[in-house]
């Protein structure tokens, strides 16, 4: 297997939360590897569209509130993506939110929003994409589709004041294994990436807290917080033919945090 197996030429990749942070970095990296990008965003994805198009690939934007799981149901977004981009090869479930609160105070409303956005929307999009992939006519032994979920260190650990988030990301690790187990025989790869501490809007409050920021930084074997681009290589690998025999892994990209 040569280096061309890492190429994504003419594939179509849908990335949720494509307008910022890790999702933006993954969208641009997949485009650099040759894929057209369907970016699902809530507020805007103008910078991502510009960066993707500067690689010579196409960007299609779909605005959706993923927390509203009853409204989009997954099929609407995947159907729109296929209609506008022609087909779909790769789904990256990246959109996610954190509600920071001690477990004693966490509201049902915040719990539901976090679980709906991080876990239920991921299941619904995966199910709709899985149906599209499973129905594809491909030569025997060829991949029908790729799903990459963005999990977390809190797919493995408890975290502090983030019970809903930890429940969602731990559930996401289980969902990744469950769907990988069901769909490997269909030629569909379902895997996840567990980013460590990455400098984005989601970690802004942690970075702004000098005690937490330096406590976290000093525990990372690599000696620094991660940047969104640090996650991109793993996403290209898990989206490509190079990972054809990889099913159900939750791959840490964490500067060594979990190995400590």
- Shortest CB 186 distance to ligand NAP, Å: 26
Residues in 215-244 at the binding interface with ligand NAP, rule: CB under 6 A: none
- Shortest CB 5 distance to ligand NAP, Å: 26
Tokens linked to 214 = 């330096």
Compute φ and ψ for 155, nearest 5 degrees. Answer: -80, -15
255 binds ligand NAP (CB under 6 A): no
Strands of 250-253's sheet, edge to edge? Answer: 59-63, 36-41, 12-16, 90-93, 145-150, 188-195, 250-253
Catalytic residue among 41, 165, 197, 245: 165
For residue 131, what are the CA distances in angstroms to 84, 128, 141, 183, 244?
18, 5, 18, 10, 19
Binder among 65, 182, 205, 209 for ligand NAP (CB under 6 A)? 65
DSSP for 94-162, written as a single string: -------B-TTT--HHHHHHHHIIIIIHHHHHHHHHHHHHHT----TTS--EEEEEE--GGGTS--SSB
Binder among 22, 77, 90, 253 for ligand NAP (CB under 6 A)? 22
Catalytic site includes residue 197? no
77 binds ligand NAP (CB under 6 A): no
Nearer to ligand NAP, 41 or 59 (CB): 41
Binder among 42, 112, 136, 227 for ligand NAP (CB under 6 A)? 42
145 binds ligand NAP (CB under 6 A): no
- Cβ contacts of 106 within 8 Å, gap of 6 or more: 99, 163, 164
Q: Which stretch binds ligand NAP (CB under 6 A): 17-25, 82-90, 179-187, 238-246?
A: 17-25
Question: Which residues are designated catalytic?
Answer: 165
Binding site for ligand NAP (CB under 6 A): 17, 19-23, 41-43, 64-67, 94-97, 117, 150, 152, 195, 197-198, 200-203
């Amino acid at each position: 297997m040569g280096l061309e197996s890492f190429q994504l030429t003419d594939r179509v990749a849908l990335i949720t939360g494509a307008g910022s942070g890790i999702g933006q970095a993954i969208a641009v990296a997949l485009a650099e590897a040759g894929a057209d990008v369907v970016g699902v965003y809530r507020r805007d994805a103008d910078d991502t569209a510009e960066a993707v198009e500067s690689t010579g690939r196409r960007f299609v934007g779909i605005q959706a509130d993923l927390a509203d799981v009853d409204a989009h149901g997954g099929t609407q977004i995947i159907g729109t993506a296929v209609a506008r981009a022609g087909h779909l090869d790769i789904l990256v479930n990246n959109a996610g939110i954190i509600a920071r609160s001690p477990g004693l105070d966490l509201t049902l409303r915040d719990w539901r929003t976090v679980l709906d956005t991080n876990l239920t929307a991921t299941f619904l999009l995966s199910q709709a994409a899985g149906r599209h992939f499973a129905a594809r006519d491909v030569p025997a032994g060829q991949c029908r589709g790729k799903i990459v979920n963005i999990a977390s260190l809190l797919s493995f650990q408890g975290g502090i004041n983030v019970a809903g988030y930890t429940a969602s990301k731990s559930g996401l690790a289980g969902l990744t294994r469950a769907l990988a187990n069901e769909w490997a025989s269909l030629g569909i790869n379902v895997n996840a990436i567990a980013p460590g501490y990455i400098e984005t809007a989601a970690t802004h409050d942690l970075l702004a807290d000098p005690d937490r920021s330096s406590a976290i930084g000093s525990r990372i074997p690599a000696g620094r917080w991660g940047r969104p681009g640090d996650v991109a290589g793993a996403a290209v690998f898990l989206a490509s033919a190079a990972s054809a025999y990889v099913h159900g892994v939750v791959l840490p990209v964490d500067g060594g945090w979990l190995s400590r």
